[in-house]
């Protein structure tokens, strides 16, 4: 057992949770748990959907590796609870997590900082009628993308190619979220860029180019088939890859993300302009996941990545402050 592993103390790998991505979270969490144990870490599975978070404190856990995805895991809620409990955790803090889970809020920040992102129209669950649809079509044209503002793993996402398909797409997204993001469709290469670190020390890992069957990188092709190709090295021109990495690092920094994250990007086939779609602050760690794949290309094993992330676990606010005048 390494000294570093002993210094971590008792570690909880938070997995499962209450979001639509519960199944994927278990896959991520089990991979992380096995990797940490293989390195001598005293790591244990912990499902917040089945247990009280206060148990973490009562049972003497000293760090948490967050392998939760989506709501109640990636949105600042668990992060806030761990801040109150005084237990350091992996990944971004409360504010960055809560902004990043909301694709519309993310876009607003990015646009204010000149980070390129596709044009969008935000609709509400109770405003999807003919006038709203006309506004979307007029602003964005066809094809366009409809997605819930606060879901991941391509859940509730539809590519709309005809005006007659729009209402069904809106209804599907509205089943997942009250906020519906309608977005300009960018035709071209789909890539993703993982980031490790914090602030000025944040660094981009190698870009991965994703080639999905018929260009359909959906939930099934993300996690349960072997038909999607992941190209790393990406095969992009070096200057193009470096530009994407620079955009991704800036996008990560302006949201005050830390620990790790993954920025999803579309490259316009005609102009080669990259457009940033979203940032994941608790990326997947399954056998199909992209951050471990990129880290491996940079010479970092899955186990080393898990240890690196656990070592970066922190609290945003010191628990030593006790109030008073």
**Catalytic positions:** 21, 153, 223, 262, 264, 278, 280, 284
Three-state SS at 124: strand
Phi, psi of 138 (to 5 degrees): -70, -40
Planar angle of CA 108, 205, 229, nearest 5 degrees: 95
CA distances from 141 to 125, 134, 164, 186 (A): 21, 10, 13, 11
- Measured distance CA(303)–CA(74) in Å, rounded: 22
In this structure, what token pair is assigned to residue 117? 């992102």
CB 82 within 8 A of CB 64: yes
* C-alpha torsion sign, points 137, 139, 141, 144: negative
In this structure, what token pair is assigned to residue 47? 């499902």
Three-state SS at 44: strand
In this structure, what token pair is assigned to residue 220? 């099934």
- Measured distance CA(24)–CA(216) in Å, rounded: 19
Torsion angle defined by CA atoms of residues 280, 282, 286 and 291, in that order, rounded to the nearest 10 degrees: 60
- Output 49-55 pairs: Cβ under 8 A, ≥24 positions apart: 49/16, 49/17, 49/18, 49/22, 50/16, 53/78, 53/81, 53/82, 53/85, 54/85
* C-alpha torsion sign, points 269, 270, 274, 280: negative
DSSP states along 258-291: EEEEEEEEEEETTT--EEEEEEESS---STT-HH
């Amino acid at each position: 057992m390494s000294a570093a592993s002993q210094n971590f103390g008792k570690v909880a790998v938070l997995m499962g949770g209450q979001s639509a991505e519960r199944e994927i979270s278990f896959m991520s969490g089990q991979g992380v748990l096995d990797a940490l144990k293989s390195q001598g870490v005293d790591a244990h599975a912990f499902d917040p959907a089945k247990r009280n978070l206060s148990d973490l404190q009562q049972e003497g856990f000293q760090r948490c590796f967050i392998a939760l995805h989506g709501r109640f895991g990636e949105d600042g809620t668990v992060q806030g609870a761990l801040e109150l409990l005084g237990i350091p955790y992996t990944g971004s803090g409360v504010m960055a997590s809560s902004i990043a889970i909301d694709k519309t809020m993310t876009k607003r920040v990015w646009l204010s900082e000149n980070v390129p992102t596709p044009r969008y129209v935000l609709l509400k669950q109770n405003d999807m009628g003919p006038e709203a649809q006309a506004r979307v079509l007029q602003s964005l044209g066809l094809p366009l993308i409809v997605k819930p503002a606060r879901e991941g793993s391509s859940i509730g996402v539809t590519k709309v190619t005809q005006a007659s398909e729009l209402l069904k797409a809106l209804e599907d997204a509205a089943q997942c979220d009250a906020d519906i993001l309608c977005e300009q469709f960018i035709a071209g290469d789909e890539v993703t860029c993982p980031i490790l670190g914090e602030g000025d020390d944040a660094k981009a890992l190698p870009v991965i180019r994703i080639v999905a069957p018929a260009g359909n990188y959906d939930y099934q092709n993300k996690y349960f088939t072997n038909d999607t190709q992941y190209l790393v090295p990406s095969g992009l021109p070096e200057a193009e890859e470096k530009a994407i990495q620079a955009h991704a690092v800036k996008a990560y920094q302006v949201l005050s993300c830390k620990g790790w994250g993954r920025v999803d990007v579309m490259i316009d086939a005609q102009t080669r302009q990259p457009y940033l779609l979203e940032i994941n602050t608790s990326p997947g760690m399954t056998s199909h996941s992209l951050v471990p794949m990129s880290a491996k290309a940079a010479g970092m094993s899955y186990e080393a990545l898990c240890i690196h992330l656990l070592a970066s676990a922190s609290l945003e606010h010191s628990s030593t402050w006790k109030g008073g005048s």
